[in-house]
Structure 1
Amino acid sequence: MEKKKAKLGLLPKLVIAIVLGIIIGQFFPVWFCRVVVTASGIFSSFLKFIIPLMIVAYVTMGIADLKSGAGKLLIITVALAYGSTLIAGSASYLVSASLFPSFMSEGALEQIAATADNSLSSYLSISIPPILDTLSAVVLAFVMGLCLSTLRGKTIGDTLYNGMKDFSGIIDQVLHSIIIPLLPLYVCGTFIDMTKSGKTFAILGILWKVFLVVIIMHLVCIFLQFCVAGAVSRKSPLKMIRNQIPGYTTALGTQSSAATIPVNLQCAAADGVSEQIRNFVVPLCANIHMAGSMITITACATAVCLMNQLPISLSIVVPFIMTLGVAMVASPGAPGGSIMTALPFLYMIFGAEAGDPHGPICAIMVALYITQDSFGTACNVSGDNAIGVIVETIYQKFINKSGAKV
């Protein structure tokens, strides 16, 4: 019997990419560094081309598939998931804006600012214009998704739906075969450039504290979500959190909400959620509930703004959170899916120039997010079951009494 080869996960690969980027940028000649930066730049151009197609594919299918559900329960579940995501993101900004400035001394920020124009140049650049701009992709995805959801099976057939499903599968293949495998190269090139320009060590001296705060926010979010679920259902929050440990650890290992669904269904059963409710809520929330991811993205965006002396306030962050809470619907069930969906919208925080999806600031955002992605995913799936408990209670106390069926 052949032994299965151990596969290195994305997180270790990215850590290796960051370390290699620092080593190469510190000790290797400029010509070699420019070769890696050139390859990273070509990949970023391809990424810019793919992003609108990802939005069309995933958001369209995410909305179209919301048709399968249970009337009032669908509305309640979506409202709870969206509300949880908005609250988590807003709280993340308030905590980050309060704590992060104390981590970032004025001298460190000035050192980062002084190296802003020291970037390495590529040997060549390839322009790959996207078929759609970001806003057009979002509008098209919402129009198609909503129309497919309401018209399919009534005034139109399944041809377009099946076509979009196949298109989504193609984009998913691109994500798994090209985007995710080459992300370490992208991150490595970014850190080579940062090291050569002198930014790396000033930034890394700040970021370990950012990581610690973000992980603590995830754990507090999980605790509060189960406290609310416990208050509504009159169940012990601590017992439900204990029941969630297998789902949490599975999500840490897979970095995928979708891959964690089978284990999460078992956790929901341990919480006393009925089969019909857990089979409805858990898969749905795996696609639409992004509280943990929103905490990470908002915190990382706040840190990046502070490091680069970009203006940021609650009035800037809230519209971004509200938009991203919808755009991340059905973001790929793969490592980095949420940040890839968020990239086109970072201009809402960073501004048009700094928010270029294939620019250096967004590359830092990708690196920051990916190194904490597993914790954000674990927070997402844990919150899914807290929502499941709430929906189960509402169903048993109100909807089921009226004779409605799921």
Structure 2
Amino acid sequence: MKLIIKLLCGIIVGILLGMVAPDLIIRGLITAKVFISQLIKFTIPLLILFYVTSGIANLPRNSGKLLGKTVGLAYLSTLGAGLFAFTVAENLFPALLSGAGDMPEVKTVLAPFIELKIPPLMNIMTALTIAFMFGLGISSTGADQLKRMSDQGRDIIELFLNKVIIPALPFYIAGVFADMTVKGTVFATLHTFSLVLLAVIAMHWFWLAVQFITAGAVMQQSPLTLLRTMMPAYLTAIGTMSSAATIPVTLQQTKRNGVSNTIANFVVPLCANIHMSGSVISIASVAVAVIIMTGAGAVPSLIEALPFIAMLGVTMVAAPGAPGGAVMASVGLLGSMLGFTEEMIALQIVLHLAQDSFGTACNVTGDGVIALMIDKLSDKQEEEQEDLVPVEDAI
């Protein structure tokens, strides 16, 4: 919540400075914005490389079918959530945000004092390919040194995010909004924020309803009872804004829904890293809103956006536990696959972080559904094995 308050302060300070401050100060803010933007773009491939490598390498090696079922079900839920959100946003937002893309004529354009270029070491797809290659290789061969290196690299990137990038975001946002104020486009953008945020939270709850109604039908239990049991995890996640930090509560409430200790202890910590349905709903729908708000061309069709949504689900694997980790991991895909500009990425970050706690809450509450489904599948498999009695035992 402190981060959200800081970002809101960044928006307010940026607008006020853009209205009354001399060009010298505004150019200083714009210079800071450009430098922080370069740092973000440089960090994203490294974030994907180390986090995805470490996340895959740390998956349990001897879990067999249980691991495959959990990962498969979590990815299907994340992918389905992304497709649902994009479809709703594609059809709802053009009418909801009617006129948002009709920006007024730009008044003034101020340049930064200096544009420092920090080229990334690799592009997003290269980082993702290397991460999968080494992650699967480490998991298969048990290469301890490489695993340790990927874990240490992940820890360093997380430290850099927590100590540099995240604290710098308010200054980045202030620079963006000061620039937009000078250009005369800021108020045409801001009035649509509340509508987008409410729509995104409504999508979270609709997706949770679909998940729990499905689980209730499979388990032959009341969906409302199952959901009510998971509500402490939902409320905790709103406060922590972190799936990892909410694991103890998620685990406790999942067991209270009747999931066995073995399944819950395996599925919940794993899904805290790989099941990101709420985050993907937020990113996919906000991306559509940003395209409309900035008048950056036509919104892609669902077929055109499918590769982006599919890759987004993969990129969410082991997204940082820090607030904002999901959107930071998605920045590279937004730029490379949807053609987002620096201003569009800034709006994406602001809109996402404003509701990040609700996206995280949707993630962890859905983890309870995944655990219920896996527990049911495991019980069914055990029953089938018991039915296959050897002939000599039957005799």
Q: Gapped runs of 5+ residues in structure 1?
A: 1-7
Measure how far apart 1:194 and its partner are: 1.3
* Separation of aligned partners in 1, 2:19 and 2:228: 45
* 1:220 alignment partner in structure 2: 206
Deviation, structure 1 residue 310? 2.0
Once the 2 structures are TM-superposed, how far is the Cα of residue 118 of structure 1 from its aligned partner? 4.5
Structure 2 residue aligned with 1:391: 374
CA distance change for structure 1 residues 394 and 182 in 2, over 3 Å: closer, same or farther? same
Task: State the partner residue of 1:142.
Answer: 132
Q: Using the aligned pairs only, state the percent identity.
A: 43
Deviations 1:281-313 (A, max 9, x none): 111111111110111101111011122242221
Task: Give the superposition deviation at 1:137.
Answer: 1.1
1:173 to 148, 151, 159: 159
Structure 2 residue aligned with 1:363? 346
Structure 1 window deviating more from structure 2 (74-83 vs 132-141): it is: 132-141
Pairing partner for 2:182 from 196, 216, 220: 196
Give the match for residue 299 of structure 1.
Answer: 285
Deviations 1:193-249 (A, max 9, x none): 112112211111122111111010111111111111111111211011111111111
Which residue number in structure 2 is paired with residue 251 of structure 1? 237
Aligned partner of 1:41 among 16, 34, 37: 34
What code does the residue aligned with 2:234 have?
Y
Q: 1:5 — aligned with what?
A: none
Q: Which residue of 1 aligns with 2:150?
A: 164
Alignment partners' CA distance in 2, 1:220 and 1:240: 15
Corresponding position of 2:390 = none
Please report how far the alpha carbon of residue 173 of structure 1 lies from its aligned counterpart in structure 2 after TM superposition: 0.8
Partner of residue 4, structure 1: none
Q: Aligned runs of 1:296-335 on 2, under 5 Å?
A: 296-307=282-293, 308-311=295-298, 312-335=300-323
Per-residue deviation, 1:395: 0.8
1:283 aligned to 2:266? no
For residues 41 and 209 of structure 1, the distance between their equivalents in structure 2, rounded to whole angstroms, comes to 29
The Cα shift of 1:400 comes to 6.2
Give, in whole Å, the separation in 1 of the partners of 2:127 and 2:192: 36
| TM-score, structure 1 normalization | 0.91
Q: Which range moved further: 135-144 or 330-339?
A: 135-144
Partner of 1:74: 67
In 2: Cα distance, 1:402 partner to 1:158 partner = 36
Structure 1 pair 198/349, CA: closer, same or farther in 2 (3 Å)? farther
* Structure 2 counterpart of 1:343, from 331, 349, 373: 331
Amino acid at match of 1:341: A
Change (3 A) 1:176 1:399: farther
Q: Deviations over 1:316-350 (max 9, x none)?
A: 21110101111110010111101111011113553
Query: Could you say what the CA RMSD is over the residues aligned between the two structures, in angstroms?
Result: 1.6
Q: SS at 1:102's partner residue?
A: helix
- The answer to whether 1:372 aligns with 2:355 is yes
8 Å contact 2:61–2:140 — kept in the other structure? no
TM-aligned CA deviation for residue 399 of structure 1: 3.9
Give the AA of the match of 2:313: G
Provide closer, same or farther for how the CA distance between residues 234 and 350 of structure 1 changes in structure 2, counting only shifts above 3 A. Answer: same
**Kept in 2: contact 1:316–1:349 (CA 8 A):** no
Supply the distance in 2 between the matched residues of 1:293 and 1:94 (Cα, whole angstroms): 16
